[in-house]
Amino acid sequence: AVSMFLILIVVGFALVPGHDLTIVRAMNTLHTGWLGAVTTAIYFVFEPLPSIILTAVIAAMIWKLKDLRTAAAFAGLVAFTWIPSVVIKEIVHRPRPDIALMPHPFLPVQTDPSFPSGHTAFMVALFVALTYVVRGTRWHLTVVTVGTLVTACLALALAIIVPASITWGLLHP
């Protein structure tokens, strides 16, 4: 985990803001109509407060269905995987693309750093933790499949340097 933490910081500093502008602008052209509405909704549904509430609700369900220890382990794994990605984001402090250069700017303007994607890090952390909870059960393959699909959809919706968040979430636990 420490090695991955340090590698992501180095990668974050190595990425030169603006070099990915062509890709970011191309992805941003898709932010219209129903697809724009869906991607915006996904972004807001997985903001930090709703994500914390979702984690708490799932932990409560796990407590009810299994036990407190498993629920606490689930919530702890989500937190201890997600929180360091926020620390990396603050250390690297990579600016978001200039919205004036976007064909369809995302509003409201996001002022926090963009690397790594906190939304994607949360989603990977959530599904990795769920995978541990259901390992050895008939639900394991379903959770892995749904987690992969949901994370891929979220990554496409955000389209902002998500490989770092996915890597962190998968290798940290």
Q: What are 171's two structure tokens?
A: 């290798």
Confidence of residue 72 (pLDDT cuts 50, 70, 90): very high
pLDDT at 70 exceeding the cut of 80: yes
Contact of 127 with 143, CB cutoff 8 Å: yes
Q: What is the pLDDT of residue 109?
A: 65
Q: What are 156's two structure tokens?
A: 């496409």
pLDDT in tens, 21-62: 666 666 666 667 777 777 777 777 778 889 899 999 999 999
Task: Specify the higher pLDDT residue, 100 or 138.
Answer: 138
Largest CA distance in the chain: 51
Rounded CA-CA distance 84/91 in Å is 10
pLDDT at 67 exceeding the cut of 90: yes
Angle at 40 between CA 168 and CA 111, to 5 degrees: 65
Q: What is the DSSP letter of 98?
A: P
Confidence of residue 154 (pLDDT cuts 50, 70, 90): confident
Mean pLDDT for the stretch of residues 160-173:
43
pLDDT at 6 exceeding the cut of 70: no
Q: Which of 4-8, 103-107, 138-142, 153-157 has the highest mean pLDDT?
A: 138-142
Q: What is the DSSP letter of 100?
A: G
Average pLDDT, the chain: 75
Q: What is the pLDDT of residue 20?
A: 62
Mean pLDDT for the stretch of residues 86-101:
75
Torsion of CA 107, 118, 145, 127, to 10 degrees: -130
Cβ–Cβ contacts within 10 Å for residue 20, how many? 15
